[in-house]
Amino acid sequence: MSKKNVFQIEQLGPCKIQSPIPYSTVMGDDIANYVTDDEKILYDIDLTPGKTTEDLIDGGLLEKAGPRQKIYFNPMHSHAAIVTAGGLCPGLNNVIRAVVRTLWYRYNVTRISGIPYGFKGFLAEYGLSNIELNPDNVDDIHNMGGTILGSSRGNGKRVEEIVDSLERLNVNLLFIIGGDGTQRASNDIGDEVIKRGLKISVVGIPKTIDNDLLYTERTFGFETAVSKAVEALSAAHVEAKSANHGLGLVKVMGRDSGFIAASTALSSNDANFVLIPEVPFELHGKNGLFAHLKDRLERRQHAVILVAEGAGQDLMPLESKTDQSGNKLHSDIGAFLKLEILKYFEEINMEIALKYIDPSYIIRASASKASDSLYCARLGSNAVHAALAGKTKCLVTLWNTHFVHLPISMVVKGRKRVDPESSLWRDVQETTRQPLNMTNK
């Protein structure tokens, strides 16, 4: 059965208004064209053994993002709202800036409200005031980390109150920048909007520093995060190398997916052992991490371990708590490893110098580097094009180098993870030369 239709984007209604942006409708005049809903890209392009090109076609098509010739909303009567939710990620301000400028300069939408501190900003009990946004007050924000709107976790279940608030504010263009949990809320908000017969497009811009979004080549902030993690890893390497039996241990983000750890290792060459959630490992035994660690310290006098926060959860006592966004709270693998390593080497009576680095906030709060800045600028403007065209319950993202629309409902079904059999993990192993397997089975 063909899966062609699974990436169908929901639409508030037919587009009848001429876009104010003077693009072209013909090729060859050296002026960019409007994008039509028929323009798509192939989702699956990977001819692995056993697949035919027909299977690729059956993999489905993703709708291209971009400015439409006919739009759904009258910009003159539009009121846009932007909200950022969840943890910080480099590039948030860049996205906000791009959304505001595209609304203002391209579509002449001049009523733009920043919702303060995530979904809290919609809830009366917090008594927070919206922030009027315009090109002037967002002009320099792309050079700053964080979000000028403020952010918070949680409250994503209070859909009715949020939609009440949207009604009260008369918002018809809602941009929600946030992760997994937040986008689940976006979808529910979009459903509630439709249920009430309202005309509000809900467009999500996915934010996950972990780069674990399905159908998404990479998420904004990820490359910046890696470049900052490389600096922390370098410090660990320097500390390790400067000590006799020096051992550097760095914990990076990655609750369920080891992309930051894997990419950091490949970018820097300073890690000898990379531990990620997708690849199980044991501490003890002949083929456990500690035996390999000891061996490396004896051979090379120093070693560096890079661990993703979600790695090795099975090795630790259970935590049953969740944070306010509903994410399962992880036990702290960094602190755990530090203690266990110290214990192990004390037991075998081998003196080591262990330095543990947890650079988390320094990474998250960083301003975005150039490649993320460019990405955020384009994500933001494409989100505006989508919203004006009446698309709703969709995300704007990048797939196979093209900006596309994704139905939120599909994206939040799971998480993108590092495939241990992929070329990415293969290349990490080639770089670190760590054992292909660190279990005793």
The residue range among 7-15, 61-69, 174-182, 196-204 that interacts with its own copies, by the rule CB under 8 A, is 61-69
From the candidates 180, 188, 210, 270, give the one annotated as an active-site residue.
210
User: CA distances (Å), 103 to each of 110, 131, 192, 273, 305, in order?
Assistant: 7, 16, 25, 47, 46
| Sites for its own copies among residues 409-428 (CB under 8 A) | 420-423, 425-427
Q: How far is the CB of 421 from its own copies (least distance, A)?
A: 5
Please count the residues of this chain forming the interface with its own copies, following the rule CB under 8 A. 108
- Say which amino acid occupies 327: N
The residue range among 237-245, 281-289, 337-345, 408-416 that interacts with its own copies, by the rule CB under 8 A, is 237-245
Token pair for 401? 């180098």
Asked if residue 12 lies in contact with residue 72, where contact means CB atoms within 8 angstroms, the answer is: yes
Among 18, 53, 320, 349, binds its own copies (CB under 8 A): 53
Q: Does 108 bind its own copies (CB under 8 A)?
A: no
Q: Does 318 bind its own copies (CB under 8 A)?
A: no
Q: For residue 276, count other CB atoms closer than 10 A to its CB.
A: 29
Q: Does 30 bind its own copies (CB under 8 A)?
A: yes
The residue range among 16-24, 162-170, 288-296, 342-350 that interacts with its own copies, by the rule CB under 8 A, is 16-24
User: CA distances (Å), 192 to each of 72, 115, 167, 198, 286, in order?
Assistant: 19, 19, 12, 9, 56
Q: Does 305 bind its own copies (CB under 8 A)?
A: no
Q: How far is the CB of 199 from its own copies (least distance, A)?
A: 25
Among 235, 315, 335, 342, binds its own copies (CB under 8 A): 235
Q: Which is nearer to its own copies, 70 or 241 (CB)?
A: 241
User: CA distances (Å), 143 to each of 146, 214, 223, 381, in order?
Assistant: 10, 29, 16, 18
Could you identify the residue written with the tokens 């509000």?
200
Phi, psi (deg, nearest 5) at residue 361: -70, -30
CA distance 406 to 396: 6
Q: For residue 306, count other CB atoms closer than 10 A to its CB.
A: 32
3-state secondary structure of 266: helix
Q: Does 1 bind its own copies (CB under 8 A)?
A: no
Q: Which is nearer to its own copies, 170 or 322 (CB)?
A: 322
Q: Does 27 bind its own copies (CB under 8 A)?
A: yes
Q: Does 335 bind its own copies (CB under 8 A)?
A: no
Q: Does 359 bind its own copies (CB under 8 A)?
A: yes
| Sites for its own copies among residues 172-211 (CB under 8 A) | none
Q: Which is nearer to its own copies, 43 or 344 (CB)?
A: 43
| Sites for its own copies among residues 263-292 (CB under 8 A) | 263-264, 266-269, 279
Positive or negative, the CA dihedral 210, 215, 218, 219 is: negative
Query: Among residues 332, 414, 364, which one has the least CA distance to residue 147?
Result: 364
The residue range among 28-36, 178-186, 284-292, 335-343 that interacts with its own copies, by the rule CB under 8 A, is 28-36
Cα angle 286-287-292, degrees, rounded to a multiple of 5: 95
Judge whether 210 counts as a catalytic residue. Answer: yes
Q: Does 215 bind its own copies (CB under 8 A)?
A: no
Token pair for 197? 């017969």
Q: Does 150 bind its own copies (CB under 8 A)?
A: yes
3-state secondary structure of 64: strand
Q: How far is the CB of 226 from its own copies (least distance, A)?
A: 5
Among 70, 157, 196, 402, binds its own copies (CB under 8 A): 402
Q: Does 41 bind its own copies (CB under 8 A)?
A: yes
**Largest Cα span, the chain:** 77
Q: How far is the CB of 191 from its own copies (least distance, A)?
A: 28
Q: How far is the CB of 164 from its own copies (least distance, A)?
A: 21
Q: Does 47 bind its own copies (CB under 8 A)?
A: yes
CA distance 360 to 218: 19
Give me the 114-143 binding string for its own copies, x by CB under 8 A, dash otherwise. --xx--x-----x-x-----------x-xx
Q: Which is nearer to its own copies, 108 or 400 (CB)?
A: 400
Q: How far is the CB of 440 from its own copies (least distance, A)?
A: 15
Partners of 176 in beta bridges: 83, 204
Q: Which is nearer to its own copies, 186 or 373 (CB)?
A: 373
Among 371, 409, 415, 417, binds its own copies (CB under 8 A): 371
Positive or negative, the CA dihedral 7, 13, 16, 22 is: negative
Q: Does 6 bind its own copies (CB under 8 A)?
A: no
CA distance 204 to 404: 12
Asked if residue 81 lies in contact with residue 173, where contact means CB atoms within 8 angstroms, the answer is: yes
End-to-end CA distance of the chain: give it in Å, rounded.
Answer: 39
Q: What residues are labeled active site?
A: 210
